[in-house]
Amino acid sequence: MFPFSTFFPLLASLFLLTISTIHAQQTCNGHASLCTRKYSNITFIGAHNSAFVGDSPADNQGISVTAQLDSGIRFLQSQAHTNSFKTLSLCHTSCFLNDAGPLTEFLGTVKSWMDAHPAEVVSLLLGNGDRTDIVRYGEAFKSSGLDKMAYIPASHPLAFNAWPTLGEMIDAGRRLVVFMDYGADIQK
């Protein structure tokens, strides 16, 4: 029979080895197999007009942005316009029709979720129908802290096979991909 003083350290070592093995298995967006796949070779589930939550005819979603992300959505689309207070807001076609609030609040929600989920890559598609200067969007990203998470391509346009893997994006801390229409300029 083993004395307790010999058995306990052996059991503790086995436990620590098991825990470290579990933590060493990296997952990316919930799956280890995605860590070695290029961003450009992955299909992401998305939510159209993700910020417009409610029951009105101008709303598209029934659950909050956080709940959408918790449910597996990794591609959030929305549109921003300058409202009557000159604030960059998420507005459905027109700020008079549906104003879901300032862009900075939406980005703050995304940032909070990404902070709590460090092994996830998220994409945003922002419509810029008013052709607002890209600098205003940059200010919103900086204010929310998402600017530090944004992936910035090495070249433009970026070839299909030049995208990093999800694992590389996560390791670099650049795990937010932002697409934008009208006025997108990665130099700004």
pLDDT 10s digits, 86-117: 999 999 888 888 889 999 999 999 999 999 99
What local confidence, expressed as pLDDT, does residue 118 receive?
97
The residue-averaged pLDDT of 118-136 equals 93
Mean pLDDT of the chain: 85
Element of type H or E holding 90:
strand 88-91
Active-site residues, by number, are 48, 92
Contacts of 173 (CB under 8 A, 6+ apart): 148, 149
Q: Mean pLDDT, to the nearest integer, of 115-142?
A: 94
In the predicted model, is pLDDT for residue 73 greater than 90? yes
The pLDDT of residue 19 is above 70: no
Residue 10 pLDDT greater than 50, yes or no = no
Q: How many residues does the chain have?
A: 188
What phi, psi does 176 have (nearest 5°)?
-120, 125
CB 129 within 8 A of CB 97: no
Q: How confident is the model at residue 165 (pLDDT cuts 50, 70, 90)?
A: very high
Instruction: Count CB neighbours of 147 within 10 A.
Output: 17
Predicted pLDDT of residue 183: 64
CA-CA distance, 121 to 167, in Å (whole number)?
Answer: 9
Q: Which residues pair with 41 in a beta bridge?
A: none
pLDDT surpasses 80 at 23: no
Q: What is the mean pLDDT of residues 162-180?
A: 96
